[in-house]
Amino acid sequence: MTAASGARVEAPESAAGPSDPIRVHPVLPCTLVLVGLMGAGKSSIGRRLAQRLGVDFVDADAEIEAAAGRTIPEIFQELGEPAFRDGERRVIRRLLEDRTPHVLATGGGAFMAPDTREAIKEKGLSLWLKADLDTLFERVARRSNRPLLKTADPKETLRNLMAIRYPVYAEADIVVETRRVPIETTVEKVYQALVAHLNQCHLNQ
């Protein structure tokens, strides 16, 4: 989506004095949609970024779980991956159409579905959190809630997914490389990339 930029100036909560900080943050012209592989940080970065921008955070995976009344592993096991993908497509379209601009963390496979990708391009601003294989593997190894990685060699599975998905994730409007650094460092990097992008749109108008 073509973005118009603006800045919201927030007065401090207490009575403003000469030394009170004035916080200025960009106004999201549309929903910021985070894409990327499992472990890229869409959920953990997205939540913190939304707080910083003063907008809602929505996690598509959590919305699908709530709608299905099941966890993602249960959906995959009991209903199958096609049913999960169908729910994912519907949930993301609904969020893009019905909710005011917010930060939306998608599941790792969402941007791979052509119609979801089209909807995101039309109604949102997409940002790919790009990470290398070792960083991703280190992060996903901490939890076992990702059905696609329940394979004999999850690192090889991730490598294969990277080969298939990275050329598609590269269609995102903004790309931010994330490495093994503290989460807040990545949040700052994403925030700065977003501001630069919105300023660029503004200059091009």
Ligand X SMILES: Nc1ncnc2c1ncn2[C@@H]1O[C@H](COP(=O)(O)OP(=O)(O)OP(=O)(O)O)[C@@H](O)[C@H]1O
Binding site members for Mg(2+): 43
How many residues touch ligand X under the rule CB under 6 A: the total is 20
Contacts 24+ apart (CB under 8 A), 77-83: 77/147, 81/147
CB of 130 to ligand SKM, least distance (A): 14
Other beta carbons less than 10 A from residue 54's beta carbon: 13
Q: Decide whether 38 or 129 has the Cβ nearer to ligand SKM.
A: 38
CB of 137 to ligand X, least distance (A): 11
Q: d(Cα 35, Cα 124) in Å, to the nearest integer? A: 12
Q: Select from 42-50, 81-89, 95-103, 114-122 the region that touches ligand X (CB under 6 A).
A: 42-50
Q: List all residues 6 or more positions away from 76 whose beta carbon is below 8 Å from its beta carbon.
A: 84, 147
Q: Is 29 in the site for ligand X (CB under 6 A)?
A: no
At position 177, the amino acid (one-letter code) is E
Q: d(Cα 8, Cα 48) in Å, to the nearest integer? A: 18
Q: Which of ligand X, Mg ion, ligand SKM, none does 44 bind, CB closer than 5 to 8 A by kind?
A: ligand X
CB of 55 to ligand X, least distance (A): 18
Q: Is 44 in the site for Mg ion (CB under 5 A)?
A: no
State how far the alpha carbon of 171 is from the alpha carbons of 38, 61, 142, 204, in Å: 18, 21, 29, 20
Q: Is 87 in the site for ligand X (CB under 6 A)?
A: no
**List 7, 66, 181, 196, residue binding ligand X (CB under 6 A):** 181
Q: d(Cα 55, Cα 48) in Å, to the nearest integer? A: 10
Binding positions for ligand X, rule: CB under 6 A:
36, 38-45, 61, 105, 107-108, 139, 142, 146, 178, 181, 183, 186
